[in-house]
Amino acid sequence: MASFSPARPGSVVHLERLTGDRWVTVQTGARDRAGTAVFSVPDTATYRATAISTAGGLAPETTSTVTTRTREPIFEETFSGTALNTAVWTDQARENNPDGQRTCARVDPSTRHVADGVLHLGVGYDQTRPGQSCSYSSTYGSGSVPYLTNSRVATEKSFTFQYGFAAARMKLQRGKGMHSGFWMLPAGLFALGDHGILPPCDTEVDVMEFFGEHPRSANAIGAFLHQCTSGGQVTKHGGIVKETAAMKPANDTGGTHSMCSRWSGRPASMSSASTVPSSTGRPARSAINQRSSFSRC
């Protein structure tokens, strides 16, 4: 992902590969509304991206370099077959949890299914409470709705890792009220039961969260980090990244997006890429007060 600022959408971007002592153009793309171009590279090599401006008198902009490398996954899920592999994935039971502002919903496996290599997560009416209404109140308002069921699956009982790179391809909902998320939770988080609390001084990384298309979130994706301090208090970092609205435009019904996080013991690097090219990586400042960067997802 090559990111430039100012955006100058439509400007040509060359992906260049270091071959010997020369930079050779191997692919050509264009900047999107966020100033980003996305390329797919097949080999292990050193790359950079150069943007050619259509405005007269502006010099080409070149990113920093990135050296790609092959990764052997220690966990991979392609959702083959017609059912979720419950030896790997478990439904996270969250029964009408008021702490998470999910008072009127509970997790139920009936709202998920696997088909054509895709795990579909959804919502439905709670058939165990027909005709009953649930009252809710939050910082965003209050009201009454039918009791609902939703989907939430995890590998918390089958797979953990300490450091590494996590990525998922996702297609997000449009409607507000639903909450898409890709999270990395502390190992042992629910050792006290399904309503356990954060163990002392562990960290939750929310690679992405999407709350539906509505003005409050600017139709954009959020990224958060919940850090437990030595006093046992949890501090929330991050927020809605408005620049991602260019990645997932309103009325987007067919786009799939790659969400990823690299966790190395240093501050987490979280980014998003899309079949519609874009990035949320923080660019480095160049000498001419423009910003350009090249990163991997």
Domain 2-67 has CATH 3.20.20.190: no
Instruction: Report the pLDDT value the prediction gives residue 293, as an integer from 0 to 100.
Output: 42
Residue listed under structure tokens 């590998």: 155
Residues of the chain with CATH 2.60.40.1120: 2-67
- Cα distances (Å, whole numbers) of residue 76 to 3, 25, 88, 130, 273: 28, 33, 11, 39, 19
Task: State which amino acid sits at residue 223.
Answer: A
pLDDT in tens, 44-61: 899 999 998 766 667 888
Q: What is the mean pLDDT of residues 173-198?
A: 68
Place 116 in a pLDDT band, splitting at 50, 70 and 90: very high
pTM of the model: 0.72
DSSP 244: G
Share of the chain above pLDDT 70, in %: 75
Pairing status of strand 164-170 against strand 257-263: antiparallel
Six-digit token string for 63: 């990113």
d(CA 51, CA 31): 8
Share of the chain above pLDDT 90, in %: 26
